[in-house]
Amino acid sequence: MLKPKNTLKRIVQNLDGFWDCEIKEENRPIAVPGSWNEQYQDLCYEEGPFTYKTTFYVPEELSQKHIRLYFAAVNTDCDVFLNGEKVGENHIGYLPFEVDVTGKVKPGENEFKVVVENRLKVGGFPSKVPDRGTHTVGFFGSFPPANFDFFPYGGIIRPVLIEFTDHARILDIWVDTSESEPEKKLGRVKVKVEVSEEALGQEMTIKLGEAEKKIKTFDRFVEEEFILENARFWSLEDPYLYPLKVELERDEYTLDIGIRTISWDEKKLYLNGKPVFLKGFGKHEEFPVLGQGTFYPLMIKDFNLLKWINANSFRTSHYPYSEEWLDLADRLGILVIDEAPHVGITRYHYNPETQKIAEDNIRRMIDRDKNHPSVIMWSVANEPESNHPDAEGFFKALYETAKEMDRTRPVVMVSMMDTPDERTRDVALKYFDIVCVNRYYGWYIYQGRIEEGLQALEKDIEELYARHRKPIFVTEFGADAIAGIHYDPPQMFSEEYQAELVEKTIRLLLKKDFVIGTHVWAFADFKTPQNVRRPILNYKGVFTRDRQPKLVAHVLRKLWSEV
């Protein structure tokens, strides 16, 4: 599915703004995109359902076009109504969905309604753990009882668009540059285009930079290969993008593509044939008042801080972010580990029905993000209960689903279960291309004892490598620090303690030639459900929630300038 885009032959209307919302028998204005939880204090812990309403206007000549409604993301369950008729539904957050409303849009005013609910469910996405009749149910007994450590925001969190195209149109585009030969500067760009039935027999033009091909569309799928001598490869130093344009008689779509290769062996990850070490963060798409609502200035700010601190990558923990994050990453040369909305997976998910939903989520994530050169890895889940015997089949299936969609990138699962303790060993990690682990030595274990924690980490990481013989990526480690709290000698929650733990962990892991990256948890402080470990926020941010640097930020900036 292609994201709606204004081109010479496509028209897009954006429905962002203030919608009406039926909340507790009142009609209140609500912002789209945005989460409801922080727009009204009394909605902080509400799960809905809430009815969002707006109207849009369509001129006569456009009402006859092919028309789709595109929701960049709604959290989480929703039913979509147009002029009183139910036209669509969706049941997963953080991923786009479209509703074909061709023939259903009236010339003039149209009434549009979306009923949204964000309920935590046992075995659902987002999930909670079953209430065992105790007072402590969620993650560390938290409220709301989310089975994960970030606030479960609800609402129409990303833009809603209406796109008008000709019926003879482009449906999807796939770009594959994996067979390019960087050492010879030879770019091999395979372009596959899917068109609608109505476009059969038309002439298609595909332009890549200066090169151009003209083809008759005898089939719904058209494939062409461009060979570029002296190609300019997309890299961290030079994130060069080639303009790709696909044209039909009355439709046109454009993409910026990067030519690059990714590969990996027993010890290393390679970008364009050269080893790359991942320096960066796990983060959240989250901000005061906005909740998880798309907000463009925040993206610019975060990328500017990633560059300032000399990071080269981040993980979209723990769900796919707005696609604009990837557009910027492509343009600015930042690598992305793209994660499915699979956090808090427990034994209650290990059944055929939920597995089907999870497979579908992975297909939808890869379908959306497949053409972004910045995306170098797919993560199918964060910290599932992957030491449960039923996890093995479940995650093997998710790995295979991701591979069916894309063989050119490594597929990973982020585990905390593959520990030195054999009784709690992960049963699924062995299927994945790179061993991704979250480790909190000196924080949750060896509290206040950084040196002992580091010794245990070293032993753990050596054993992991001996066991798997695959590259190791430490996807999380870190410590909470409340900005402004200082202590000598360094104590937990002080800026000094966080800075020391982070620096020493990275220096230790840099000595291991099988470690391909260290991502600090987290980029910035973020809001969580309430529990005794979280004074409103998780304070593991290297930056505060409003993006000011803590002591550790300066330490990282210097350290990463040398790596």
Catalytic residue IDs = 383, 476
Q: Which is nearer to ligand GCB, 325 or 443 (CB)?
A: 443
The residue type found at 282 is G
Smallest separation (angstroms) from ligand GCB to the CB of 443: 8
Judge contact between 436 and 412, C-beta under 8 A. yes
Smallest separation (angstroms) from ligand GCB to the CB of 126: 12
**Is 342 among the residues that bind ligand GCB (CB under 6 A)?**
no
Strands 262-264 and 108-117: unpaired
Alpha helices in 86-170 (DSSP H): none
Cα dihedral 22/27/29/33 (nearest 10): 10
Judge contact between 553 and 543, C-beta under 8 A. yes
Angle formed at CA 448 by CA 145 and CA 528, multiple of 5 degrees: 20
Query: Between the CA of residue 405 and those of 123, 356, 389, what are the distances in Å?
Result: 25, 15, 26
Smallest separation (angstroms) from ligand GCB to the CB of 375: 20
**Is 235 among the residues that bind ligand GCB (CB under 6 A)?**
no
Count of residues engaged in binding ligand GCB, rule: CB under 6 A: 10
Smallest separation (angstroms) from ligand GCB to the CB of 439: 9
Q: Which is nearer to ligand GCB, 141 or 275 (CB)?
A: 141
Q: Which of 69, 120, 416, 454 binds ligand GCB (CB under 6 A)?
A: 416
Smallest separation (angstroms) from ligand GCB to the CB of 349: 16
Judge contact between 359 and 395, C-beta under 8 A. no
Q: What is d(CA 239, CA 409) in angstroms, rounded to the nearest whole number? A: 18
Q: Which is nearer to ligand GCB, 191 or 416 (CB)?
A: 416
**Is 247 among the residues that bind ligand GCB (CB under 6 A)?**
no
Tokens 């990067």 sit on residue: 258
Q: Give the residue nearest to ligand GCB (CB).
A: 149
Binding mask 125-154 for ligand GCB (x = CB under 6 A): ------------------------x-----
Binding mask 12-51 for ligand GCB (x = CB under 6 A): ----------------------------------------
Smallest separation (angstroms) from ligand GCB to the CB of 382: 5
Q: What is d(CA 397, CA 402) in angstroms, rounded to the nearest whole number? A: 9
Binding mask 310-329 for ligand GCB (x = CB under 6 A): --------x-----------
Q: What is d(CA 75, CA 117) in angstroms, rounded to the nearest whole number? A: 7
**Is 476 among the residues that bind ligand GCB (CB under 6 A)?**
yes
Smallest separation (angstroms) from ligand GCB to the CB of 146: 11
Picking from 166, 188, 160, 168, the residue whose alpha carbon sits closest to that of residue 176 is: 188
Q: What is d(CA 312, CA 334) in angstroms, rounded to the nearest whole number? A: 5
Binding mask 527-556 for ligand GCB (x = CB under 6 A): -----------x-x----------------
Q: Which is nearer to ligand GCB, 242 or 521 (CB)?
A: 521
**Is 382 among the residues that bind ligand GCB (CB under 6 A)?**
yes
Q: Which is nearer to ligand GCB, 207 or 533 (CB)?
A: 533
**Is 309 among the residues that bind ligand GCB (CB under 6 A)?**
no
Tokens 């799928």 sit on residue: 221
Smallest separation (angstroms) from ligand GCB to the CB of 383: 5
**Is 438 among the residues that bind ligand GCB (CB under 6 A)?**
yes
Query: Between the CA of residue 315 and those of 133, 238, 283, what are the distances in Å?
Result: 36, 21, 7
**Is 498 among the residues that bind ligand GCB (CB under 6 A)?**
no
Q: Which is nearer to ligand GCB, 361 or 475 (CB)?
A: 475
Judge contact between 70 and 163, C-beta under 8 A. yes
Judge contact between 381 and 342, C-beta under 8 A. yes
**Is 383 among the residues that bind ligand GCB (CB under 6 A)?**
yes
Question: Which tokens go with 508?
Answer: 């230790």
Q: Say how many C-beta atoms besides its own lie within 10 A of residue 514's C-beta.
A: 19
**Is 94 among the residues that bind ligand GCB (CB under 6 A)?**
no
Q: Mapping DSSP to helix (H, G, I), strand (E, B) and coil, where does residue 392 land?
A: helix
The residue type found at 482 is I
Q: What is d(CA 380, CA 395) in angstroms, rounded to the nearest whole number? A: 8
**Is 521 among the residues that bind ligand GCB (CB under 6 A)?**
yes
* Residues at the contact surface with ligand GCB, assessed by CB under 6 A: 149, 318, 382-383, 416, 438, 476, 521, 538, 540
